[in-house]
Amino acid sequence: MLDIKFVRENPDLVKENIKKKFQEHKLPLVDEVITLDTENRAAMNEASALRADRNRLSKQIGMLMGQGKKEEAEQVKAQVAAQAERLKELEEKEDQLAKRIQEIMFTLPQMIDPSVPIGPDDSHNVEVAKFGEPKVPDFEIPYHTEIMERFGGIDLEAARRVSGNGFYYLLGDIARLHEAVLAYARDFMINKGFTYAIPPFMIHGNVVQGVMSFPEMEAMMYKIEGEDLYLIGTSEHSMIGRYIDQILPESQLPQTLTSYSPCFRKEKGAHGLEERGVYRIHQFEKQEMIVVCKPEESMDWYEKLWRYSVELFQSLDIPVRQLECCSGDLADLKVKSCDIEAWSPRQKKYFEVCSCSNLGDAQARRLKIRVKGEDGKNYLAHTLNNTCVAPPRMLIAFLENNLQADGSVKIPEALRPYMGGKTEIR
């Protein structure tokens, strides 16, 4: 969310940013919000002047009554009554204008970083670097659910009977592997100096509006019927929401947290063959990275976060690449974002397993997350998030890259303490 003052003073920059995001239909909103802002400030100034005059006239009435000039006092009272009607009109106008201004400001995209590649959709995302050697073994790699089924590790049919499509039962060593990956990721981030957190799994609507754009909210969030509560789509939602309306001492920054949660998503729309199984589902678990920091430090943290993902996946013998998201693929609150994609030897291509985002002050402005500087002045924090691991999708990459010719799955050394010392599963 942009600052209305910035929009007012830089309309051409805001419009150029909208064009870079290929959202030309939003261009008229810039002029509209500037006009509304002008009207609103004029109404506020007039209302302020009327209140000051009312105070002056009220004192005058008291003086006149004290002097026994009742008739003159009644005339002034009539003047005050007329001003009260006008003041009521102005306050109603302010309220209507403020609502429309906020509606538009929630719609205008955040200013993207100059380094973001320009393109209309994810087909224009740019590969930046590869890490690890992608290999294709000389034996066939089955679809991930088939690998799981060989271990008696998944039951999709029972999940369909109980909950419908997009759910699963994980069992035995596959379920244990799922939890081992989460526990390993938790400790990996703790060793990086992050504080482990388990947040609420439901949040109020005002927090949802603070952390994500309306299109994302509609496509993702499940609402609890009859209550002002939504199931979180990622722990970022409640972790950033933790700081709503807070003023943080600058000495307490950066806040670095790694949070565990289940995640719930509608996942609307049709998906391709490669997104069946447990790739795109309504419920999954995730370990997340969250940073709240000073504005001048956010780009450094962005670099650190995505590199942590690379390091973690490489420690599990999974080749990955970094893919810079283009302007048209950025959600409206994001300043810069990249995906970490894991190698799929079965598909002979990469697929997304992590998403790292710098949201600048967008979430902080919506949620009023401020920092008190050493000079005593308040300013908006910057917020970032990144997926640490999100099984069971991450399990797809793990199983494919660690599958052996005899059908067993190798357990990398880093994960063995979390699997009871096992070197492989059979």
Give residue-wise pLDDT tens across range 105-122. 999 999 999 999 999 999
**28 with 167, same domain?**
no
Q: Is 328 among the domain residues?
A: yes
Q: Is 187 among the domain residues?
A: yes
pTM: 0.89
**Residue 269: per-residue pLDDT:** 53
**298 with 265, same domain?**
yes
Domain range for 310: 122-425
pLDDT band at 273 (very low <50, low <70, confident <90, very high): very low
Q: Indicate the residue among 76, 107, 138 that finishes a domain.
A: 107
Q: Indicate the residue among 74, 107, 140 that finishes a domain.
A: 107
**88 with 217, same domain?**
no
**Residue 392: per-residue pLDDT:** 83
Does 229 score more than 90 pLDDT?
A: yes
**Residue 350: per-residue pLDDT:** 96
Q: Indicate the residue among 107, 139, 169 that finishes a domain.
A: 107
**352 with 316, same domain?**
yes
- Among residues 79, 18, 8, 16, the alpha carbon closest in space to that of 40 is found at 8
Q: How do 195-197 and 255-264 pair as beta strands?
A: parallel
**Residue 268: per-residue pLDDT:** 61
Q: Is 112 among the domain residues?
A: no
Residues of the chain above pLDDT 70, percent? 98
Residues of the chain above pLDDT 90, percent? 81
With a CB cutoff of 8 Å and minimum separation 6, the contacts of 224 are 202, 230, 231
Average pLDDT over residues 319-332: 96
Q: Is 241 among the domain residues?
A: yes
Does 14 score more than 80 pLDDT?
A: yes
Encoded tokens for 114: 């100059």
**Residue 275: per-residue pLDDT:** 52
**Residue 272: per-residue pLDDT:** 45
- Which residues are bridge partners to 340 per DSSP? 322, 354
**150 with 267, same domain?**
yes
- Please work out, in degrees rounded to the nearest 5, the angle formed at the alpha carbon of residue 127 by the alpha carbons of 123 and 133: 125
Q: Is 115 among the domain residues?
A: no
- Among residues 51, 54, 166, 37, the alpha carbon closest in space to that of 100 is found at 37
**102 with 126, same domain?**
no
- Phi/psi of residue 265, each to 5°? -140, 140
**Residue 231: per-residue pLDDT:** 96
Q: Is 190 among the domain residues?
A: yes
How many other CB atoms are there within 10 angstroms of residue 313's CB atom? 25
**243 with 171, same domain?**
yes
Q: What average pLDDT is seen over the chain?
A: 92
**Residue 232: per-residue pLDDT:** 95
**165 with 55, same domain?**
no
**18 with 140, same domain?**
no
SS (H, E, C) the chain: CCCHHHHHHCHHHHHHHHHHCCCHHHHHHHHHHHHHHHHHHHHHHHHHHHHHHHHHHHHHHHHHHHCCCHHHHHHHHHHHHHHHHHHHHHHHHHHHHHHHHHHHHHHCCCCCCCCCCCCCCHHHCEEEEEECCCCCCCCCCCCHHHHHHHCCCEEHHHHHHHCCCCCCEECHHHHHHHHHHHHHHHHHHHCCCCEEECCCCEECHHHHHHHCCHHHHHHHCEECCCCCCEECCCHHHHHHHCCCCCEEEHHHCCEEEEEEEEEECCCCCCCCHHHCCCCCCCEEEEEEEEEEECHHHHHHHHHHHHHHHHHHHHHCCCCEEEEECCHHHCCCCCCEEEEEEEEECCCCEEEEEEEEEECCCHHHHHHCCEEECCCCCEEECEEEEEEEECCCHHHHHHHHHHECCCCCEECCHHHHHHHCCCCEEC
Distance CA 202, CA 210 (A): 14
CATH number of the domain that 237 lies in?
3.30.930.10
**Residue 270: per-residue pLDDT:** 44
**160 with 292, same domain?**
yes
The total number of residues shown for the chain amounts to 426
CATH number of the domain that 26 lies in?
1.10.287.40
pLDDT band at 276 (very low <50, low <70, confident <90, very high): low
**192 with 86, same domain?**
no
Respond yes or no on whether the N-terminal peptide bond of residue 200 is cis (omega within 30° of 0): no
How many other CB atoms are there within 10 angstroms of residue 232's CB atom? 27
Give residue-wise pLDDT tens across range 65-117. 777 777 777 677 777 777 788 888 899 999 999 999 999 999 999 999 999 99
Q: Is 116 among the domain residues?
A: no
Encoded tokens for 60: 């005058």
- Please work out, in degrees rounded to the nearest 5, the angle formed at the alpha carbon of residue 31 by the alpha carbons of 28 and 36: 120
The domain tally of the chain equals 2
Q: At what angle do helices 70-107 and 27-66 cross, to 10 degrees?
A: 160
Q: Is 114 among the domain residues?
A: no
Distance CA 236, CA 220 (A): 14
**252 with 392, same domain?**
yes
pLDDT band at 271 (very low <50, low <70, confident <90, very high): very low
